[in-house]
């Protein structure tokens, strides 16, 4: 598949929207995450709409971009995927646990396009957590609203939800790697049994 100028436009738009944002607890420009998610999506059979949505997957949730603007700029299919990957479009955001429970429920019932972009997003996040856990230990959990117990619950619940929702031959490797990465996070986190009991 050849990417068109629509992808170029989305890349510039995503970079502009997230220009001042950094990855949690780091100086890494947020666009690095967006590029990684789009790259994973393309490596696992994404269409151009899905790849564009991967670049834009956080603009509703983090930047307050409206669905209607995305639809006008990039089409309804892209806007629907981005909305499906957002756990809220409300400001202020609802409580963390409530948002995550709703996201899990929604992903289970969502389109294959939403699940593909969502899995790429969560896999890249999990890789970053595992990498930082090896360097900083359990101190890294202070970056996250859900803390250690909540974050471990959320990522394990996502592994189970993606699997239950249905996996294709192209997304199976994504889920397998996500499961392995989450398992390594669990194994490298002190107090994992406590974390599971606190669900």
Q: What is the pLDDT of residues 135-160, one digit of tens each?
A: 999 899 999 999 999 999 999 999 99
Identify the active-site residue in 8, 43, 62, 138: 62
Domain count, the chain: 1
Please give the radius of gyration of the chain, using alpha carbons only, rounded to the nearest integer.
Answer: 16
- Domain with 48 in it: what CATH number? 1.10.3210.10
Whether this prediction's pTM lies above 0.85 is answered by yes
pLDDT in tens, 32-78: 999 999 999 999 999 999 999 999 999 999 999 999 999 999 999 99
Structure tokens at 111: 């389109």
For residue 1, the SS3 value is coil
Which residue carries 């949505």 as its tokens? Answer: 53
What does the alpha-carbon distance between residue 60 and residue 65 come to, in Å, rounded to a whole number?
A: 5
Per the annotation, the verdict on 61 as an active-site residue is: yes
Range of the domain at 123: 5-197
Which residue carries 């230990």 as its tokens? Answer: 137
What does the alpha-carbon distance between residue 161 and residue 79 come to, in Å, rounded to a whole number?
A: 23
For residue 196, the Cα-to-chain-centroid distance in whole angstroms is 22
Classify residue 18 as exposed, middle or buried by CB count within 10 Å of its CB (0-12, 13-18, 19+): buried
Identify the active-site residue in 58, 61, 121, 132: 61
């Amino acid at each position: 598949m050849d990417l068109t100028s629509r992808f170029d436009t989305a890349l510039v738009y995503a970079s502009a929207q997230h220009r001042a944002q950094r990855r949690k607890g780091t100086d890494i420009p947020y666009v690095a995450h967006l590029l990684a998610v789009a790259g994973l999506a393309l490596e696992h059979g994404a269409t151009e709409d899905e790849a564009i949505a991967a670049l834009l997957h956080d603009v509703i949730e983090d930047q307050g971009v409206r669905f209607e603007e995305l639809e006008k700029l990039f089409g309804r299919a892209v806007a629907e995927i981005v909305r499906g990957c957002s756990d809220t479009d409300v400001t202020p955001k609802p409580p963390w646990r409530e948002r995550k429970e709703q996201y899990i429920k929604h992903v289970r019932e969502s389109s294959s396009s939403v699940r593909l972009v969502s899995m790429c997003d969560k896999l890249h996040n999990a890789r970053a957590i595992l990498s930082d856990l090896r360097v900083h230990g359990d101190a890294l959990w202070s970056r996250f609203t859900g803390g250690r117990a909540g974050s471990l619950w959320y990522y394990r619940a996502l592994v189970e939800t993606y699997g239950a929702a249905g996996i294709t031959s192209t997304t199976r490797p994504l889920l397998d790697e996500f499961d392995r990465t989450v398992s390594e996070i669990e194994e490298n986190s002190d107090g994992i049994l406590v974390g599971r009991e606190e669900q």
